[in-house]
């Protein structure tokens, strides 16, 4: 099976707090390339941004607004080849759209676990309100054009994730490999950190799809027939 994985688009309502960073027509061309080359495309969480409303606590309304703002992309995502797994920024899609929190696929003798990865974060597990409040505050920093302060918030968040290429120091990889073991998966595929990675752990493989927000292109290609698994930052 030939599978593509993208995550962390953060599609919003196209206001100043929206940091998708692409014209929809250009991103649709990218999707058409994926559709022409892959049997399945996994949308691995934080596809929509629902935590940046002007007043807190309106995730369902923000999801509806984001979907309405990007009709061409939403139409493509509804096609059968797409599999949508929710993250923490689009958690409400689990209730509203039935998006699961993980997916297991088997092909050519390879078992793959797909999960966004936010369950690794202690704050999200134990005090989700605080994490969501931080995202909401960050959106207001963007609206107030306080970009330097927003970037500082982003840097702090990245450090708290403990996601680094070194497997010995990366608690995110360690968490993901434990999830893979629990699911008897050969490959675990994550998003969330916005850091694309491919790291071998003995008989298991850890992959992260990076991000397609802020004008970036990042995706994974998984070819279970050929045993080839790669991270791409151009298309």
Domain boundaries, the chain: 2-232
pTM, entire model: 0.93
Rounded to the nearest integer, the mean pLDDT of the chain is 92
pLDDT value, residue 125: 87
Phi, psi of 189 (to 5 degrees): -120, 125
- Contact by Cβ (8 Å): 228, 207: no
157, two tokens: 């968040």
Percent of the chain residues topping a pLDDT of 70: 94
- Contact by Cβ (8 Å): 6, 210: no
Task: Give me the DSSP letters along 79-137.
Answer: STTEEEE--STTTTHHHHT---SEEEEEETTEEEEEE--GGG-HHHHH-HHHHHHHHHH
In the block, which residue shows the tokens 């994730």? 161
**CA-to-CA distance for 206 and 201, rounded, in angstroms?**
7
CATH of domain 2-232: 3.60.21.10
- What's the average model confidence in pLDDT over 187-211? 96
């Amino acid at each position: 099976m030939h599978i593509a994985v993208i995550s962390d688009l953060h599609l919003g309502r196209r206001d100043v707090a929206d940091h998708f960073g692409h014209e929809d027509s250009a991103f649709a061309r990218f999707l058409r390339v994926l559709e022409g080359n892959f049997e399945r495309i996994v949308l691995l969480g934080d596809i929509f941004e629902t935590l940046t409303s002007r007043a807190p606590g309106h995730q369902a309304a923000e999801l509806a607004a984001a979907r309405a703002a990007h009709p061409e992309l939403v139409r493509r995502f509804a096609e059968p080849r797409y599999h949508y797994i929710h993250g923490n920024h689009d958690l409400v899609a689990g209730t509203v759209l039935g998006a699961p929190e993980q997916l297991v696929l088997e092909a050519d003798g390879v078992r793959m676990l797909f999960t966004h990865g936010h369950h690794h974060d202690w704050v999200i597990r134990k005090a989700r309100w605080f994490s969501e409040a931080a995202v909401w505050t960050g959106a207001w920093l963007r609206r107030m054009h306080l970009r330097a302060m927003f970037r500082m918030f982003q840097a702090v968040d990245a450090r708290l994730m403990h996601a680094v290429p070194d497997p010995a120091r990366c608690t995110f990889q360690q968490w993901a490999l434990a999830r893979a073991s629990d699911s008897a998966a050969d490959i675990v595929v994550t998003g969330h950190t916005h850091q694309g990675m491919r790291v071998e752990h003995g008989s298991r493989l850890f992959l992260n799809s990076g991000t397609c927000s802020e004008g970036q292109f990042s995706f994974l290609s998984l070819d279970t027939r050929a045993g080839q698994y790669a991270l791409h930052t151009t298309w």
